[in-house]
Amino acid sequence: MSMSTADERANNDDVLSDGEYRDRLRELPPSAKLVSKVLEGESPLSQGQLAEESLLPDRTVRYALNRLEDEELVNSRYSFQDARKQVYYLNV
């Protein structure tokens, strides 16, 4: 049985408060902030979709996602449409 992203967030004990999320995001590079902003509007998105929406190069999106994951601001799961791809969503 699959869960929607909202259900995953509700069941996740590691969900951050809005203030804590903003504090962690404040110290990150502009590319990570832009990627998180894109994910606020639409999620989950694959790395390619994030590059397309943000107009950033793939390599920059990959770097931004790594930084966001290091700060535990973003989670990922395998795509239901294509199990070879991961999709990313905010941990808020």
What is the pLDDT, as a whole number, of residue 92? 78
Return the residue matching tokens 């809005």: 18
What is the pLDDT, as a whole number, of residue 3? 46
Whether the CA torsion 81, 44, 9, 6 is positive or negative: it is negative
What is the pLDDT, as a whole number, of residue 51? 96
Name the β-bridge partners of 77.
87
Tell me the pLDDT tens digit for each residue of 75-86. Answer: 999 999 988 999
What is the pLDDT, as a whole number, of residue 88? 95
What is the pLDDT, as a whole number, of residue 1? 37
Residues in the chain with pLDDT values less than 70? 1-14
What is the pLDDT, as a whole number, of residue 18? 82
Neighbours of 63 (CB within 10 A): 16
